[in-house]
Structure 1
């Protein structure tokens, strides 16, 4: 789900609109209070005058006693201002600047680093511009149905698919309750057993908690990585997309193993998974490959990291798409 130039520009407009909207709210509040409580305006003017006066004195001499004197003066004025606001039924910080995000003050950046709210806005935009938002409305824990899984023990003596999926669901809920916890999950099973649906369930819960979550198919992931590797130069939107893959709180790679596996894919997958382990960011992988097929398809380095750092959950049962036609 890479970011286009238009989407990058849309994010910038979003932050511009936020700043402008909040500026108008702040100005309206000041107008309201100045009309209702004129003394507040006088106090703010005195505070501003003291700050200017202090600045002029510091040019001549930077004495701690002078700083402390003006600090105390303004503290008394500020306390009177807050008292007046409270007495008239307003919050003490009613005239403070208004921000959606107080960490970055609606700039999207803290110093040279992107704020968490910027990444969240990016992913929300990507999801709203794709079909993913509607998918998560349909595919979540509220719509997950255990009765799509047989309650009969398998011929091989394994627990029934329903008993198995209940254990998997328990782990998923623990994963969500402990998030962010640097844990990782791999869902393995044949086509149609609900691996992608379950990934969507987790994605919705994580995003509802305010964390950044990026969903991408294995084909989409390696297609994007190939593009940014072999194309000359890269624009800001490409760099942002790459950062999201490596730094989002939860990355979901769906259908790993359906892509054309070659040396480039193996090296890029190792870099992606290893970087996220170093960054202590959680990853969920779904695959149709068996344990042995996975080991043969990818390098020993990748397999060892999966075994060491991922909880491996095998999901089995009938193809749910066929069962739906009989149960709905």
Structure 2
């Protein structure tokens, strides 16, 4: 997945800044603790001396060609001393009301320790940084501050039972939200897919954003695209219309490989045979790669089957959990209340 040098360097600079920020935070905590608990400053000095003494002994024994058994004994004594000093340090921290790891390095991503790499392999946080860079997610990220499970309101859905369906919009939405939480909680156990369908303004996009935020908070790579945006990328990747072909190639690759792809408002794009074939490629390839997808649409299942190929419809109904949402248009309700 080639990146332009400028793009790659932008990400590496961000990691450098992150590491510098982490170091400043650690130094501030260390200064705070040394002032509050002077004994810990003395313990840190003892830890440093113990390490230096062991290093000197190891060099000396190597130069004098002492036996392997002697070296093992020194190493065992070194570990014993270090464990004792660190236990005392942890005890002092907790006795004074601090977490016992308060002086440990602080990382945004503990998997790669904010380096972007685990060995020679790019960390999941690096992949998300690339996604953020090559495709501007600022719109969805700003929306996630206001559209998440903490701000979700069930009172927009009527408790009155629909006589045709035998269930109220609120009770139905409670079931849908429970299914979404289940989707999130079991996300790491294998690929899962959702189809959210219903009329305009019933909360499909809002709910997709709720799921997106929950998974982004767990360091999963998430790409949100409207059907229009997805079609543009598919067309550009095929016909090379985009002047910046590196960006298009990266985006197409990440669409197929990100942990979660959200396709919003399927059915609003201009459809034709080419788009249908490319959409099938996208959906099918993600299934083969065992990647999760959420699709939202205003189309009924019957119309979805008529608008798209039988292959697409078959993949969706067999591989996706289908969730129907109904109720009044929430956007209209919000407009009236304001």
Task: State the TM-score bracket (shorter-chain normalisation).
Answer: 0.7 to 0.9
Q: Deviations over 1:254-305 (max 9, x none)?
A: 0112122233322332232223223332211101222122223322222211
Q: What TM-score do the two structures reach when normalised by structure 2?
A: 0.75
Number of aligned residues: 317
Q: Deviations over 1:33-76 (max 9, x none)?
A: 8876544333322444466679889xx9xxxx84x764553342
In the TM superposition, residue 77 of structure 1 has moved relative to its aligned partner by: 1.4
Asked whether the 8 Å contact 2:267–2:297 carries over to 1, the reply is: yes
Asked whether the 8 Å contact 1:82–1:93 carries over to 2, the reply is: no
Asked whether the 8 Å contact 1:266–1:298 carries over to 2, the reply is: yes
SS in 2 for 1:280: coil
SS in 1 for 2:114: coil
For residues 1-328 of structure 1, what are the structure 2 equivalents within 5 Å?
Answer: 9-22=9-22, 38-49=45-56, 66=68, 70-88=71-89, 89=92, 100-122=108-130, 130-154=138-162, 156-181=164-189, 182-231=191-240, 234-235=245-246, 238=248, 240-327=250-337
**Closer/same/farther in 2, CA of residues 36 and 119 from structure 1, 3 Å limit:** same
In the TM superposition, residue 135 of structure 1 has moved relative to its aligned partner by: 1.5
Q: What TM-score do the two structures reach when normalised by structure 1?
A: 0.77
Asked whether the 8 Å contact 2:200–2:298 carries over to 1, the reply is: yes
**Closer/same/farther in 2, CA of residues 161 and 279 from structure 1, 3 Å limit:** same
- CA separation in 2, counterparts of 1:203 and 1:11? 22
**Closer/same/farther in 2, CA of residues 83 and 234 from structure 1, 3 Å limit:** farther
CA-based RMSD of the aligned residues comes to 3.9
- CA separation in 1, counterparts of 2:270 and 2:223? 22
SS in 1 for 2:293: strand
Structure 1: tracts of 5 or more residues without a match: none
- CA separation in 1, counterparts of 2:61 and 2:16? 33
